[in-house]
Chains A and B, each alone.
Chain A
Amino acid sequence: MTEVLSFTDPRVLRAIQLVWQEAAVLDAKDYRTWETMYTDEALYVIPIDPDTDDFESSLNMVYDDKRMRELRVQRMMQGYAPSAVAAARTVRIVSRFTVDEVSDTAVTIKSAQILNAFKRDKFSTIGAEMTHKVVLDDDGDKIALKVARLIDSEDAVSASGYLV
């Protein structure tokens, strides 16, 4: 069982700050900024299998290295993709933080995310268990791994036009 967050550890607070910043950036669809929040080696994954950590050998909804993140950002912003052009507006809350690992160079932190999306008179909700590995660096903290486990990942997911 992971330890419940200690609010006194400044390293953990830096990680939470970055996770919250990412949430705000994604709601604002500021994908250029979002891209810069990741390390070059980072992976961004939305798995289907709720139990696996072997993402490379599994079918995922998202399995993005740096190259795929760049292509994804281009797609979201270039104006060719009908689903991105007509994307839902979103607001997301990230909370219920617990700390998996903490050192002077990296923090692995879990959280819960509730995302509410609105498009064409319809609200939809996505719930996700999040894991972020944040690399602490005096030049700016960055995300080295993000895994978003949607609680409905094995069933029909409808989330076009935005990122979780």
Chain B
Amino acid sequence: MTTIERPTRAFADLAQHDRVAGSLYTDPEIFAEEMSKIFHRSWVWVAHESEVPEAGSFKTTQVGDQPVIVTRDRKGNFNTLLNRCRHRGATVCDQRSGKANGFTCPYHNWSYTLDGRLRGIPYPDGYEGVVEKNDFPLQKLRTESYLGMIFATFNLDAEPLEDFLGDAKIWMERFLKQSNGFPTKVLGSHKFRFKGNWKIQLENTTDGYHFPMVHKSWMASVDAETASMMSFMDDPEAETHALGNGHSVAIMAAAHADLDIDDGSEEIQPRFQHLVDELTEAGESPERIRRYMRSMHGCGFNLNMFPNIAMSSSFFRVLIPISVDETEVWHMAIGMDGGPESINRERLRIHEHFQGPFGFGSPDDAEGWDRVQIGAGGNPNMPILVNRGEKREYLTDEGWPTSHVTDETGMRASYEMWKKMMTDD
């Protein structure tokens, strides 16, 4: 090869079954197309119900590159509103989260209700015969939730959320079993950015292959039982299923994939003995305590939902695309609302150990992703390989393409969805 030619822009050619073009990470025009064809059309996760617990609760976030407010209104309904005043475009809410009666633009004080209706305009005489308030609500996205997970879409014609989630719903339900019958509650969020494209993170959630290499220092720092639980490289039961619509599930610890199933063979980790003692003293039954302890590390799998949310072992992973080469990641710790506080606290410590900008895991992931972004800028005609395990992939009875958890079945599924959406004109 003596020259580097500008690669094709035909999306169908850029994402093939076993490889994708490096320009998918680096081309700003492709990123702009992804915003309009994927993030402005698909269901995008915006909040967990526990973040907007009562009437007036709100949080701000993004749907792709679009700033939105997620609210719970007086009727208890969830709303997702474009955070943009209808008058001159200022954001009407500048807080990360909180409680409010409505939102007032700071510029000329146009005010809106929790469900986005335009409530008041100061000095309205200038608008007589010009502006009818009913015609200028905040732009409202379609908003639906399933098992507490709230999604929104700009696409008013999108299929129902539950259809979009499809077989991912089975795994959402299994994931939430780690709350042991209590409502799931977001306990806090680690947020960081890396200098790389959003799909690098999307891939990583279903990338079992990197774990023992990138996270060697974390493995060296945990107790033997936890290290053993995450030693799935040669475990034939550790598999990844592609679930349709770009969703996939990567099972690292099969014994925890359904916490209702307990063959009794698992020893409770000695590191949790102080909790066992405390709960015993508090009068909890041995069966209940065993269940709590088995759920301490979460559910044993990463459920990766296209395009922006994962229910990942014991936390939610949210990705927010900032630009073609920058992505924000939130790792949201979860616990039991009303459950034993000692267990919630222990879960926070486990989360802090791996996640966040000073955790023993996340910074090493981010280092790898930064390096992918830099390296992938080299010869854009050289593909990114997503072919690991292609020849050992099989279909389960459910119809799920499946291979080992270290294989790239989940990535192939995501890129298949990417291609479908990007070529759907």
Contacts and interface: CB of A to CB of B under 8 A. Distances in A.
B420 interface: no
A74 B216 CA distance: 12
A71 B214 CA distance: 17
B360 A156 contact: no
B357 A60 contact: no
Contacts of A68: 353
B333 interface: yes
The B contact surface, by secondary structure, is: helix
Interface string B323-338: 0000010000100000
A49 B187 CA distance: 11
Given A61-B352, A158-B193, A83 B221 contact: no
A26 interface: no
A78 interface: yes
Q: Which of A84, A160, A163 has the most CB of B within 10 A?
A: A160
A63 B333 CA distance: 15
A154 B352 CA distance: 15
B345 A57 contact: yes
B351 interface: yes
A117 to B, nearest CB: 12
A57 B217 contact: no
A78 B220 contact: yes
Contacts of A82: 214, 364, 367-368
Given A46-B358, A74-B221, A75-B221, A81 B364 contact: yes
B190 interface: yes
Interface in A103-160: 120, 154-160
Interface in B280-336: 328, 333
B162 to A, nearest CB: 31
A86 interface: yes
Contacts of A159: 357-358
Nearest to A63: B352
Nearest to B96: A154
Contacts of A160: 357, 363-364, 366-367
Which of B192, B341, B351, B367: most chain A CB closer than 10 A? Answer: B367
Interface of A: 46, 48-49, 56-63, 68, 71-72, 74-75, 78, 80-84, 86, 120, 154-161, 163-164
Interface of B: 96, 187-194, 214, 216-218, 220-221, 328, 333, 341, 344-345, 348-349, 351-353, 356-360, 363-364, 366-368, 370, 374
